[in-house]
Structure 1
Amino acid sequence: MTRKLRVLFVSGLKPLANGDTGGQLAAAASLMSSPLPEVVDIIPLSTTVPSSPPPSLAERVLGAARRLATFGALLPSADVALIFSANGLGAVEKGLMGILASACGRGVVIRFGSGAIAEDCERSRFMRWWVARVLERSHGVVAQGPFWKAYFEAFPEGRGKVVEILNGIPLLPRERLAERGAPGKRVVYLGWLFRPKGAFDALDAFEKVVRRVPDATLTFVGGGRDEQELRAAAAQKGLAASVRFTGWVSKAEVFDHLLQADVFFLPSHMEGLPNAMIEAMSAALPVVATRVGAIPDVVTPGRTGFLTAVGDTDAMADALSTLLDDPALARAMGDACRAHVEQHHAIETIWPRFAAILARAARDAGRDRGIELPGAAGAG
């Protein structure tokens, strides 16, 4: 008698009480909404931090210890651990889980979703050593695009294990694109409101845009630790009438805002592959973003948007003004964005790759006996 593969899925799975969310949660939610839970048995373990900004170091260490204990208790019932990791202390905690699972003879698939992991490894000799140890004990490594595949394959411990699996989302139904308003001068930013995401660069660039396009507007959809400072900066710049803050909103409201915008703007300082950008492209919005992480793997300058260097607010303002002043160009680029997402990021095409790498990890760990492995496409 056979049974399904049992997967201990470790990720941020629950939004914070104030509605805060993020890329890891969005990626996990997309996967959980796909047919994957019908193909394998999912054992969920949420690692969402309890507050934003994060709690004190002592509270975080205590929380990590509790989660590790829970992980250890759930592990005997699993064949494979699928671990979504970020950076910093979270990467240490998730790495310990992966090493424990490997030591207990379970398959391990790790996905580093934060663009800050590369900076961690550059700044800290310990973190680079630690990531190498985690890669060494993993059976599969998920990379969010060619940039990250090359990055993790540069570790000798990662070679032969890294599989490129782009972020997948449930696509906005194509018929909803008819809800787009008439072309206007509306820019939207979606995500965390803090400096590493480029929120203040967005405001500085927009200040330059309104000198050329006086009726332009900028909507910040999201929240975070720097929201109040960002609001004060907008007022100080005299932009209170043209800059709007929504706070965190539901997924349905996110798409409402995207459908009423003309350009998506994300001047981030570091990224893995931002789900917010993929969602905006799904809503047929052209993109103005920075050349960081896997963004250049997705955005083709002149076809689906424009890319700038981090902090180059003059170039950002030029790109935004070009799109706001040329609605036909903006719509053409937006349509190209939609076509790209339909071809490369629909969750229907992404989840089978996760099923395949999980099945491969089970085989490599010797956990495939008596198990009905997913009949998915190859993971290579």
Structure 2
Amino acid sequence: MTETTPAPALARDGRDTRPLVAHIVYRLDVGGLENILIELVRNLPRDAFRHVIICIADYTDFSARLPEGVEIYALHKRPGIGPGMFLRLWRLLYQLRPDIVHSSNLAALECQPTVTLAGVPARVHAEHGWDMADLDGSNPKYRRLRQWLSPWVHRHVTVSAHLADYLTTTAGIPRTRVQHIVNGVDTRRFRPHDHTQRSPDAPLVIGTVGRLSPVKDQATLVAAFAGLRERLPEHFPRLRLVLLGDGPEAARLREQVAALGIEEQTWMPGNRTDMPEQLRAMDLFVLPSLAEGIPVTVLEAMASGLPVVASRVGGLPELVEDGRTGTLLEPGDPDALCSTLADYVRDPGRLQLEGARARERAESTFGLGRMVTAYAELYRSLLPAARRPRHPSAGGA
């Protein structure tokens, strides 16, 4: 007698056998975490999972990047504690009946008790980086908050080993409930430009991408770039500085650029939708942040064949191989950064060599497929056996 495998049970909402994953973020806008969320929803196998996005505050037109059919909800939380938001969240979860909730970063972690009360059987929380008020994880308030909220989470995910160590050693979360899943990058979309035929007199572009905020410290890069005027007077006229992104520091950075007299060589266009093309137009990528997790912008720069100069903070040493794919520096030191930039300007061969190595590292270690597979396996492991997708595809078809 031949045994037959029973059909998978319907998901909790009764609409499909594919489990529904509800992703909770504070706000869906341009950013690294948000890029990872979009890529995850786009590339997790569509024959295995469904998705819905819940924003604690609101969302922007960045949401247009979501695949067709993925619903998005905003709870419109105002600044402050806002207990009414948790009631709205409970009602929404009761209506949607997701099988999995995946929250991201500290503001969304506060939703996990409500998620539990709504009866969601599988609960994941991901840490993507540090808050400006807690650059090194020493803030006791945030540590206690994570400790108190952790029992409502089945699995904590960190994008860097640095964050995983913080959760287990400082926040005291058991290692069995902490999983390190590194961010991934689409190496087909982000690819190098051929610079081998460029003229030696062509502009050399030093660029960065990120939210213009204090924690990203673009001011140090602006000061370092301006310092090249005296350090490399013969090269300086052909140098260009590109700051891609928008945020609360935009006006102050423009004032700094004007005060230093580098307006003609600096481009600050705000947020861009053509990021692969913008990165291919650069020669050197710089990330002078004061704190980081595993920044997506660095992965995109590496995939684009750019050497990366970055601060030696957070998860950045896990990405940049110092002296091989770029250079690591102590944060907040414009003189040291200026000296490093000058070394690259003087040595075009180094730009090409380290850029090629960065591309190889992006392809071998930080491919998007690895990240997607890891999350698919995590989701399946947390679901009751009867509701697990049988054989998810390798990607979102």
Q: TM-score scaled by structure 1?
A: 0.85
Query: Within 5 A, what are the aligned runs for 1:335-350?
Result: 335-350=356-371
Match of 2:236 among 207, 210, 214: 214
Maintained 8 Å contact 1:13/1:29? no
Structure 1 pair 370–267 and aligned structure 2 pair: CA distance change class (3 A): closer
**Counterpart in 1 of 2:98?**
78
* Distance change >3 Å, CA 288–CA 272, structure 1 → 2: same
Alignment match of 1:230 (pick from 253, 256, 264) = 253
Aligned counterpart, 1:27? 36
2:264: which partner in 1? 241
TM-aligned CA deviation for residue 97 of structure 1: 2.0
Return closer, same or farther for 1:259/1:170 CA change in 2, 3 Å cut-off: same
Shift of residue 108, structure 1, vs aligned partner = 0.9
- 1:137 equivalent among 148, 152, 156: 152
Q: Is 1:369 matched with 2:386?
A: yes
Q: Which residue of 2 aligns with 1:203?
A: 222
Measure, in 2, the Cα distance between the counterparts of 1:352 and 1:372: 13
Opposite residue 153 of structure 1, the aligned amino acid is T
In structure 1, what is the Cα distance between the partners aligned to 2:103 and 2:20?
14
- CA distance in 2: counterparts of 1:25 and 1:256, whole angstroms: 20
Q: Aligned residue for 2:347?
A: 326
Alignment check: 8 A CA contact 1:12 1:28 kept: no
State the match for 1:54 in structure 2: none
Q: Deviations over 1:295-320 (max 9, x none)?
A: 00110110010011111112211211
| CA distance, structure 2, for counterparts of residue 181 and residue 274 of structure 1 | 31
List runs of 5+ in structure 1 lacking aligned partners: 16-20, 52-56
User: Residue 314 of structure 1 aligns to which amino acid in structure 2?
Assistant: D
Is the contact between residue 352 and residue 376 of structure 1 (CA under 8 Å) also seen in structure 2?
no
Q: 1:246-285 to 2 correspondence within 5 Å? A: 246-250=269-273, 252=274, 254-285=275-306
Deviation string, structure 1 residues 11-40 (Cα, Å, up to 9, x no partner): 36743xxxxx11111111111221344321
Q: Pick from 113, 123, 140: which aligns with 1:108? A: 123
Pairing 1:96–2:117 present? no
1:159 is matched with which residue? 175
| Maintained 8 Å contact 1:9/1:43 | yes
CA separation in 2, counterparts of 1:82 and 1:320?
A: 40
Q: Deviations over 1:158-187 (max 9, x none)?
A: 421111111112224477634787264210
Task: Write the letter of the residue equivalent to 2:329.
Answer: T
One-letter code aligned to 1:192: R
Q: Does 2:63 align with 1:41?
A: no
Q: TM-score, normalised by structure 2?
A: 0.81
State the distance in 2 between where 1:11 and 1:82 align: 9
Once the 2 structures are TM-superposed, how far is the Cα of residue 340 of structure 1 from its aligned partner?
Answer: 0.9
Cα distance in 1 for residues equivalent to 2:186 and 2:303: 9
For 1:167 and 1:174, the matched residues in 2 are separated by 15
CA deviation after TM superposition for structure 1 residue 145, in Å: 2.0
Contact 2:189/2:276 (<8 A) preserved: no
Q: What secondary structure sits across from 2:256 in the alignment? A: helix
Tell me which amino acid in the other structure corresponds to 1:332: L
Q: Structure 1 CA distance, aligned partners of 2:285 and 2:263?
A: 20
Moved more, 205-214 or 95-104: 95-104
RMSD: 2.8
Structure 1 contact 36–352 (Cα < 8 Å) conserved: no
Change (3 A) 1:272 1:175: closer
310, 323, 336: which is aligned to 2:331? 310
Amino acid at match of 1:146: A
Is the partner of 1:73 in helix, strand or coil? helix
Seen in structure 2, the aligned counterparts of structure 1 residues 98 and 62 have a Cα distance that, compared at 3 Å, is closer
The one-letter code matched in structure 2 to 1:11 is: V
Q: Which has the higher helix share?
A: 1
- Which segment drifts farther, 22-31 or 109-118? 109-118
* Secondary structure of 1:119's aligned partner: coil
Runs of 5+ unmatched residues, structure 2: 1-6, 9-16, 61-75
The Cα of 1:140 is off from its aligned counterpart by 1.0
Match of 1:4 among 15, 18, 31: 18
Which residue identity does 1:141 align to in structure 2? H
Could you say what secondary structure the match of 2:264 adopts? coil
In the alignment, is the contact (CA less than 8 A) between 2:192 and 2:303 conserved in 1?
Answer: no
- Alignment-derived partner of residue 4 in structure 2: none
CA apart distance, 1:265: 0.7
Asked if residue 60 in structure 1 is aligned to residue 82 in structure 2, the reply is: no
For residues 134 and 181 of structure 1, do their structure 2 counterparts lie closer, same or farther at Cα, with a shift above 3 Å needed? Answer: farther
> How many residues were matched structurally?
355
Question: Which of the pair has more CA radius of gyration?
Answer: 2
Deviation at 1:60, TM superposition (A): 2.8
- What's the CA shift for 1:150? 1.4
1:169 maps to: 185
Q: Is the 8 A contact 2:18 2:47 kept in 1?
A: no
Distance 2:335 2:251 in 1: 25
Counterpart CA distance in 2 for 1:29 and 1:370 is: 24
Secondary structure at 2:331 match in 1? coil
Q: In 2, Cα distance between the equivalents of 1:239 and 1:343?
A: 38
Alpha-carbon spacing, 1:161–1:133, altered in 2? closer, same or farther (3 Å):
same
